[in-house]
Amino acid sequence: MLIRHTMSLALLNTAERSLVQLLQHITNNYFTMGRSVLITYPDKCLHYATRSVKTLLPKSQQICHIDVAGETLRILNENLKWATQTIGTNIETLSLGEDFQTDDIHYNYIVFLPALEHEYIDQTVDAVSSIVDNTALTTTNNPRGRWVILISDQHFQSYSKLAMGILTEIYENYYIYDVIIIMPNIKSGIIQKGNYFEYENVKNSIKDRYLLYSWLPFHVDGKQPILLDEWMIDTQNSSQSLGRNLFPPKLPPKGITINVTVSALENKLILVGKGNFTDDEGMIGYKYEGPEVNAMAMVAEHLNFSFRFGPTPSPDKKHVERILEAVRPVALGEVDMAIGALPLHPQLLPFLDFTHPYYLSGTNWFVPCPKPYPRLKRISETFPVSVWCLFALVIILTAIVTLFQSKFNKISEIGTYQSGVMCFYCMWAVILGVSVPNIPRTFSVRCLFLLFVWYAFVMNMLFQTFFTSYLVDPGIIDQVHTLEELIESDITMGYPKMGDMYFFQDKSDPILIKMHNRSEDIPYDTLETIVRKIIIDKNYAALLEEIYPEHLAKTMMPSKPLCYLDDRFSTFYLGAFLKKHIPISGIFKACLNRLIAGGLVAKEVNDMKETWNFRISPNANAYDDGDDEYFVFSVHHLMIGFYALAAGITLSSVLLIMEHFHFWLFTKLKK
């Protein structure tokens, strides 16, 4: 909401003018340019009729928050051309306007605390918490933004205690830590000790400065308020400060360790438990191994984090219940993050923060592998019947055309090509790749002969290429590629129907309806038996998570291939869950993204799968029938060629004998 306030800076009193100048200094130097500013302020000016603080301050130093907020809005909107949004805060109920919604996430906040009837620290902390709580309900809330909280003209015995109460409250409940708290100093003096300040507990009727408190919650000094700066109130000169950075980096450098608590979901493959230990402080920690733990170790080394892993949910519970039990402490803010091959789900976005997915998995239908194609049948199907018929027709037509060109050409052709039988023999010799008795003499016959040689060379190359490849690997038959083909086949199907909420979401899809009706229910504890039925018995198909059948196949049946449909049934994006708005989220995800982009996380996963090759079950030999998918090309694969050669030799020998017999018979008859 854009507001034009009519009051000018000159009409404000000294304290109000100084406060406006302080806010202008903060917005100009520390707020994010180009981002809107959210300002909350009371619906009416503060009156001091029933306040004891009225006896301490003259009218020239009393604050009317709506005047200060209005002048701040005017400066932001008119002078800086800065978009602002305002929320009027009712003093009695401390609630924000329910109609405030926008798509622009705020990066800058200014909160005017409404005047309270009593000057109690707890009541003031609760008032700030109530305002922040109502702001947090909007879609524009951004705990990572910069917050400025202004306390009204109230007198407190300990301003540092009040600042600490506010800072702790909004951090623990809303994870807001980049905060400046502005409070008027209604005391007489200030004593500086090093980088910190102490104040005399003496009341005075002069408000001489504004105190700017913040903290460094992750530094080694611990959570304690720090007086970063003070803004002096001067009736003659412009307001002055010590010129310190009001928003110093809150996250510590790498030299300071940040402890991160982790909820772990143990499983047999990706995250394996390795017992527990007791540290020097007497706290019990847990050890885990796996690619996720190795990735966390690389992040910890780079950012100087210290990860403390908690216990895993009971393995006796269902898988979905174990996931919820591991994630629930993160959503409740009890731990900082959770790992353990956790699938990222959009319905958890309002409660959790996600890292970029570092592993892609899913579910698929695992089906029996197809049988090898018979080599003789495969070779006989190298060319279809139509190609063979066309090939034979080309040979016959070429022989006939050659014969006619030789007999009816003006130039006499060699006698070899003037016989129909010899023309056919010559064409056949070209096909077989052997030499012909004579080269044609005439130009037309030579051209036809050359074209036929090229044609025969191409056909020979094609046939020999397919022939050799089929001798080595004739291929497979009866391969199931799609879910539709699987449903129409006679293979028994099954999947864990306790997961219907994931597998059978669209109950209007006819394919899924057929799949659901045709499949039987299989429990998770029979996974080994199911995989054996798929690979060995070749009479079952199951919808399973990809990684577990792959592990069983490599460790129990390493010589057997594992087959599945071409397309995944569903895809899982696995990553880590983070506590919502946790301060370390930005640097943690940035470091993890570098590891993912560099391929280090994928390497850890591949190394994990590589170790499966060294964990072969002692019973693996029972499934090895010698039918290895890898082989060495040997004479055995050329047996078909030798059979054809033997048949050719036999046929040619018979023809030779018949020719000799024919010659002998006719010679005898002539005599």
pLDDT > 70: what percent of the chain? Answer: 76
Who wins on pLDDT, 7 or 26? Answer: 26
Q: Is 80 exceeded by the pLDDT of residue 171?
A: yes
Mean pLDDT of 556-572: 85
Q: Is residue 579 part of a domain?
A: no
Q: Is 50 exceeded by the pLDDT of residue 56?
A: no
For 420, the domain range is 382-466
pLDDT of residue 288: 92
Q: Is 50 exceeded by the pLDDT of residue 5?
A: no
Q: Is residue 532 part of a domain?
A: no
The answer to whether 250 and 216 have CB atoms below 8 angstroms apart is: yes
pLDDT of residue 338: 93
pLDDT > 90: what percent of the chain? Answer: 6
Q: Is residue 573 part of a domain?
A: no
For residue 245, the one-letter residue type is N
pLDDT of residue 577: 92
What does 106-137 look like in DSSP terms, one character per residue?
PSEEEEEPPP-SS--HHHHHHHHHHHHHHHHT
Q: Is 90 exceeded by the pLDDT of residue 509?
A: no
Q: Is residue 97 part of a domain?
A: yes
Q: Domain ends where: 466, 482, 505? A: 466
Q: Domain ends where: 182, 205, 232? A: 232
pLDDT of residue 121: 79
Q: Is residue 585 part of a domain?
A: no
Q: Mean of the per-residue pLDDT values for the chain? A: 77
**pLDDT class of 294 with cuts at 50, 70, 90:** very high
pLDDT of residue 199: 42
Who wins on pLDDT, 222 or 186? Answer: 186
**pLDDT class of 52 with cuts at 50, 70, 90:** very low
Who wins on pLDDT, 349 or 238? Answer: 349
CATH number at residue 175: 3.40.50
The answer to whether 25 and 100 have CB atoms below 8 angstroms apart is: no
For the ranges 17-31, 94-108, 212-226, 466-480, which has the lowest average pLDDT?
94-108
Q: Domain ends where: 439, 466, 493? A: 466
For the ranges 97-111, 139-153, 347-361, which has the lowest average pLDDT?
97-111
3-state secondary structure 242-300: CCCCCCCCCCCCCCCCEEEEEEECCCCCCCEEEEEEECCCCCEEEEEECHHHHHHHHHH
Q: Is 60 exceeded by the pLDDT of residue 482?
A: yes
Q: Is 50 exceeded by the pLDDT of residue 48?
A: no
**pLDDT class of 1 with cuts at 50, 70, 90:** very low
Burial label for 117, CB within 10 Å (0-12, 13-18, 19+), is exposed
Who wins on pLDDT, 637 or 395? Answer: 395
Who wins on pLDDT, 454 or 561? Answer: 454
To which residue do tokens 């403390």 refer?
308
Who wins on pLDDT, 230 or 377? Answer: 230
For the ranges 199-208, 315-324, 654-663, which has the lowest average pLDDT?
199-208
**pLDDT class of 263 with cuts at 50, 70, 90:** very high
Q: Is residue 1 part of a domain?
A: no
Q: What residues pair up with 277 in beta bridges, in sequence order?
A: 285
Tell which residue, 547, 124, 631, has the closest CA to residue 366: 547
* DSSP 8-state assignment for residue 615: -
CA–CA gap between residue 55 and residue 48 (Å, rounded): 9
Sorted by sequence, the CB contacts under 8 Å of residue 461 that are 6+ apart come out as none
Count of structural domains within the chain: 3
pLDDT of residue 203: 44
Mean pLDDT of 128-157: 77
Mean pLDDT of 402-410: 79
Who wins on pLDDT, 34 or 370? Answer: 370
The answer to whether 3 and 77 have CB atoms below 8 angstroms apart is: yes
Tell me what percent of the chain is helix, strand and coil, each rounded to the nearest 5: 45, 20, 35
The answer to whether 120 and 128 have CB atoms below 8 angstroms apart is: no
Tell which residue, 157, 169, 176, 159, has the closest CA to residue 211: 159
**Entry pTM:** 0.63
**pLDDT class of 644 with cuts at 50, 70, 90:** confident
Q: Is residue 143 part of a domain?
A: yes
For the ranges 81-85, 344-348, 461-465, which has the lowest average pLDDT?
81-85
What would the two tokens of residue 469 be? 């490849």
Q: Is 80 exceeded by the pLDDT of residue 76?
A: no
CA–CA gap between residue 491 and residue 213 (Å, rounded): 72
For the ranges 266-270, 310-314, 372-376, which has the lowest average pLDDT?
372-376
Q: Is 70 exceeded by the pLDDT of residue 237?
A: no
Looking from the CA of 437 toward its CB, the CA atoms found within 13 Å total: 9
Q: Is residue 552 part of a domain?
A: no
pLDDT in tens, 491-500: 899 888 776 6
